[in-house]
Structures are given as structure tokens and as C-alpha cells.
Structure 1
Amino acid sequence: MTVIGVITRGKYGHRLIETIKEHSDFSIVTADLPEFVPVFIEEPDEFLDALNFNRQVFSAEIIITYSLHPDLTSAIAKLAAEAGVRSLIVPGGPSRASVPELKKISEASGMDIEVDEICCSLEPNAFNKPFTDLFGSPILEVKTKNGKIADVKVIRGAPCGSTWHMAKEIVGMDIKDAPPRAGLYIQHYPCRATRGDLGGIHESGELHKQAFIRALENEE
């Protein structure tokens, strides 16, 4: 059985744990970080030890870390590489991680490290499968009847669970209104991606809108 590690911090990561439990048969091991940490952490290894951080999380093959802190994320990446973790997925984007440092760790160890602003843009590769067979950039199958959405099956959905929420809510809607409404349902989940004019929550909505359009085009 595939073992997935999830490192949570404050409110971040818990919906992923629930989504994995509900929509897969993966085994999960978790470790927790406090919501509030110093801006700069000179000795992150000592900081983790002082927290009684659950290092059993590094027994996983694939880890998703919501550490959301450059110093902690780099320390976690080093520990993961030493433990033989195959793939480290880092939500939150480059502003929450030292990408050059993570690249060095990846090149030295062979562990795949992916830094994504939003997890619903995550694409499969040889390292992060089978997690990304089920969780990541959305893939849908849609059935229509009498001009309305009759059923939506989630083949691959956002790790936060928003895709499954949208799939339930959109049944019964007129076909022409469904794609933009799909994106809107994602944003109302509520999506915890960053707000602003570009990227973040808007990208999440657009990814699901386009996934819905493709599903309608491919309906059998």
C-alpha cells in the first residue's frame, strides 16, 4: 500500500488528509507544525526537535508539506531526502520556499521536489504517482440529459476536495452555464489559494472551468 505523508501547519493540510481518506486507499502518516513560528529560524533541525516533530512522516514514499516557511521547508526536504522519500510536494509557491536550496537538495539526492502555488495544478510524473493519479489537476467525466448536467465523475481532483464538492453541486444545471459555474463553486468551497488579480484562487477556478469544458467535449 502506498504511504502518503502530510505535514500540517495550523489550518493547512487537514482537508488534504480528509480528502485522501475519503477518495483513496492510501495509508497516511502525519506530522504537525504550529501555526505561528518565527520569521527566521537559524537552526530549523533543533527547532523541529524542540517541537517533538513526528519524524515517522519520513517513512512515507510521497510527502506533501504545508510548512509554508523557507527555513522549515528546506530542513524538511533534507530529512526527507536522507530517509529516501521519493517525492516532496510543496504547496504555497516560491514565496514560502527557498527554490534554489530545494533544487540543490533534489539534484544531490534524486528526490523529486515540486513547488506549486496551488495543488490543483499538480501534474503526474514518475515520482509523485500514484498520488497524482487521483489528486492534482482536475479530470472529469460528465453526463448530460435534456440540456442539463446529469452526473459528474471525478477522475482526478484537487487535493483539498473542492472538485468533489463542485461535482455534487453542479448536477441539474444547464449545460451552457456549467463551465463558468464549476470555477465559481471551486472558489466558494472556500478555496484557500491566494487572492488577488492573477493566479491563486482565479487559477483554481479557471483550471476547473477548462476541465469541465473538456469533459463536455469528450462526453460519450
Structure 2
Amino acid sequence: MRVGVVTRGKYGERLIETIKERSDFEVVSIDLPQFLPDFIEDPEEFLDDLDLDPEFFSSDLIITYSLHPDITPEIAVRAGKGGAQAVIVPGGIARAGSVPELQKIADEYGIYIEVDEICCTLEKCGVEAVDAFAEKFGQPAIDVEVEEGRITDVHVARGSPCGSTWQVAKEIVGMSLEDAPPRAGLLCQMYPCRAVRGGEGGIHTSGDLHKYAMERALGLDTELAIAEQSKPIKIKGKDRS
């Protein structure tokens, strides 16, 4: 499977590194300027002027860190025209465009679009390319080995696309079973993740997801509550078959 990543400045670079290191997916990328105008009157013309490789948009799955409400829908249009199965948009709806606009694009091209505030909420959705990706990357899932009340080894079954889950796994070894879940959540937030900080959702949801993954690995009966703004927006296009 080929994964296409739209980078903008530092955003998207860590995802590319994680995909290369932790999977056998082919990954290709295109770069957008780091600094963009607040308003882009003609996104199609703007992207044309960047002379982007049209083959990029035929990737099975496209993850776009365009982070701009004018540019992101045009990326989705080009993905639809190129035959991509799905577009994942990290960064939240404010930087993705409007839901009605994205729904119109999804229906026209029969493409799946998902807007995530943070990438570690990603789960399988029934779309082949997304499900293949979410088998390895997305909402954290781990297995642990325990001896004498302490964590002796951690295996990452599915990790956050930024790579934080593997860092948590490495640093949690040696922790007591009591301390491991809250420590996993804290270690995730200490990782240089670029999720939003300073309010509900964002990096705090990432921490909750890693705490929950550790609780599940230890067989604890627990529930996960995701902040409203961190819940994915899943936009399914009309079936064109």
C-alpha cells in the first residue's frame, strides 16, 4: 500500500519517519510552504503554481498536514480525482474546511475523509486503505509482560503515528503495575508530540489514550472518555460502484 503525506514545515515529518521505521508501507510526500496566506482565493491555482507531482494523488491513502481551510479541500479534490481511497486530515476541523464542503467532495468522488484533532484517535472504519494503516498506526494498543508486580516488557501492537507509543513502551519497563497506567499517560505528554496543548483535548487526549492502553493491557476494567473536540469527524462518500 502506498501512503501519501502532505507536509508543511515540520508537520508530517515525524509521521513519515514512523511509517518508514515501523511498517512496510511505501510512503511518498509533497511539501507545502510553511507560511501560507490566511485566505487563499483560488486554492486550485495556488496548488498548480507549486507544480506538485500529480502521481502523488493516486496514493491509496493520503494524510494531509496542509492545516489550512482553503487548501485542505483542494487536496481532497485532487485525491478524489487521482483515485485515492481516503484522506486523513489531522489538526481539527477549523483547519480542514467545513463539513458540508468536505461531504460534497466525498460524495462527488466516492472518497472517505476523516478529520482528526490528533492522529492517535484513528481506528478502522471499513475502508481498505484506512483499515490497513490503522492495523499498525492509530489508537494505541499494547501487550505487556509482568513479573513480581512490575512491567518487564512492552510490545506495541498499534502505535501513535507520531511514534510516541514506542517511546512510552521503552520507558515504562520497570514500573509497578499500579504506577504504569498514569505514568504511560504522562510519558506520552512528555514526548515532543505536536498535538495542541493548554486546554482540553489535544495532548491530554493522547495521554488518556496511552493510559487506557496500559489499563487494557493489564486487564483492568476501565472506560475511555474522549474529549468532544478530539472525536474524529468521519465523512463517507456515496458509493460510486
Would the aligned equivalents of 2:137 and 2:159 in 1 still touch at CA under 8 Å? yes
Q: Distance in 1 between matches of 2:54 and 2:182?
A: 43
Contact 2:123 2:131 in 1 (8 A): no
In structure 2, how many angstroms separate the alpha carbons of the residues matched to 1:34 and 1:195? 24
Deviation at 1:211? 0.8
Percent of paired sites with the same residue? 59
1:108, CA displacement in angstroms? Answer: 2.0
Alignment-derived partner of residue 70 in structure 1: 69
Residue 6 (str. 1) matches residue 5 (str. 2)? yes
8 Å CA contact 1:30–1:54 kept in 2: the answer is no
Distance in 1 (CA, whole Å) between partners of 2:101 and 2:26 is 29
Aligned position for 1:29: 28
* Residue in 2 that maps onto 1:147: 149
Structure 1 moving runs of 4+ over 6 Å: none
* Corresponding letter in the other structure for 1:83: G
Gap regions ≥5 residues in structure 2? 221-241
Contact kept, 8 Å, 2:3 with 2:26, in 1: the verdict is yes
**Aligned match of 2:119:** 119
What's the secondary structure of 1:126's corresponding residue?
coil
- Contact residue 19 and residue 160 of structure 1 kept, 8 A: yes
- Which structure has more relative contact order (CA 8 Å, sep 6+)? It is 2
Write the mapping of 1:72-87 to structure 2, written as runs, cut at 5 A: 72-87=71-86
The CA deviation at 1:140 is 0.7
Residue in 2 that maps onto 1:104: 104
Partner Cα distance (1:49, 1:107) in 2: 24
For residue 82 of structure 1, report the CA deviation from its aligned partner. Answer: 0.8
Gaps in structure 1 of 5+ consecutive residues: none
**Amino acid paired to 2:27:** I
Q: How far has the Cα of 1:95 moved from its partner?
A: 1.1
CA distance in 2 between partners of 1:83 and 1:57 (Å)? 8
- Could you tell me how far apart the structure 2 residues matched to 1:96 and 1:118 are? 13
After superposition, the C-alpha distances for 1:173-212 in whole angstroms (9 at most, x for unaligned) are: 1111110110111111112111123100100000110111
- Partners of 1:70 and 1:55 lie apart in 2 by 21
Alignment check: 8 A CA contact 1:29 1:56 kept? no
**Does structure 2 conserve the Cα–Cα contact (< 8 Å) formed by 1:33 and 1:53?**
no
- Which residue of 198, 201, 207 maps to 2:200? 198
Find the residue that maps to 1:68 and give its secondary structure. Answer: coil
- Which residue type is aligned with residue 114 of structure 1? E
